Chain A
Amino acid sequence: GQQVMQIPQYQHVQEGEDFTTYCNSSTTLSNIQWYKQRPGGHPVFLIQLVKSGEVKKQKRLTFQFGEAKKNSSLHITATQTTDVGTYFCAPAAAGNKLTFGGGTRVLVKP
């Protein structure tokens, strides 16, 4: 499957600050999905990016797909305690097969 590297692996954020997590691939991706998993929970779909250079926003979350479709990012502004969890990027290949990155675990300091 398509391999992706997510960085950072861990992110400690002060409440109210912004942060960005990155998802990098050595190959061109057809599309990419992002999921959030709260502690003790299951992955929940956030968004799918398909087009080169695409940018999508969900309230304080901004998702971006690189121009070359080899990387993606998730930027969260004004972090809140509700943002705690692990964020996964997952390129989607033929047949709806997802290959999950290792995830970025986000901890928020109040």
Chain B
Amino acid sequence: EAQVTQNPRYLITVTGKKLTVTCSQNMNHEYMSWYRQDPGLGLRQIYYSMNVEVTDKGDVPEGYKVSRKEKRNFPLILESPSPNQTSLYFCASSLRELAGVSYEQYFGPGTRLTVT
């Protein structure tokens, strides 16, 4: 089954304790992205990756890191989490844009993170 998986689904942590949220897709997609969703603010892009070893900042990258060492995985790293990073996080993947045509993005189930 084609899917995007995220782990963990729920996480409660304390300020300053490094954490990683994993994301994996089995569709051989080049493009992967991380979003955070907050009430009243919709979905905002954190980082994205066009392919292996190619990553770039989205709209709200501060406090986050990513890496893309393999095509299927795109982990999100919070080196020193703070309470304002409490949010619902989604990973997504898609085929890479071709000739100006974008493709649908497939979203993971989400990771609800609470930082106290």
Residues of A within 8 A of B (CB): 1, 30-31, 33, 41-45, 48, 50, 88, 92, 94-103
Say whether, besides A1-B59, A42-B90, A96 and B40 are in contact (CB < 8 Å). no
* B107 and A43 within 8 A (CB): yes
Is B14 an interface residue when CB atoms closer than 8 A count as contact? no
A sample of 7 cross-chain residue pairs with beta-carbon separation below 8 angstroms, ordered by A number, consists of A1-B59, A43-B90, A45-B104, A48-B102, A48-B104, A96-B94, A99-B59
Chain B residues near A98: list those with CB within 8 A. Answer: 33, 45, 102, 105
Residues of B within 8 A of A (CB): 31, 33, 35, 40-45, 48, 50, 58-59, 90, 92, 94, 96-97, 100-110
Chain B residues near A50: list those with CB within 8 A. Answer: 101
Taking A45-B105, A45-B106 as known contacts, 6 extra A-B pairs with beta carbons closer than 8 A to each other, sorted by chain A number, are A1-B59, A43-B92, A43-B105, A98-B102, A100-B43, A103-B42
Closest residue on chain A to residue B106 by CB atoms: A45
Chain B residues near A45: list those with CB within 8 A. Answer: 104-106
Closest residue on chain B to residue A94 by CB atoms: B97
Give the docked Cα–Cα distance between A88 and B44 (Å).
12
Closest residue on chain A to residue B4 by CB atoms: A42
* A30 and B100 within 8 A (CB): yes
Give the docked Cα–Cα distance between A98 and B12 (Å).
29
Return B91 CB to nearest CB of chain A, in Å: 9
Return A106 CB to nearest CB of chain B, in Å: 15
Closest residue on chain B to residue A43 by CB atoms: B107
* B94 and A97 within 8 A (CB): no
- Among A42, A92, A94, contact of B108 (Cβ-Cβ < 8 Å): A42
Say whether, besides A94-B97, A96-B96, A42 and B107 are in contact (CB < 8 Å). yes
Return B31 CB to nearest CB of chain A, in Å: 5
Chain B residues near A99: list those with CB within 8 A. Answer: 45, 59
Say whether, besides A42-B107, A50-B101, A94-B97, A102 and B41 are in contact (CB < 8 Å). yes
Chain A residues near B94: list those with CB within 8 A. Answer: 96
* A88 and B42 within 8 A (CB): yes
Chain A residues near B42: list those with CB within 8 A. Answer: 88, 100-103
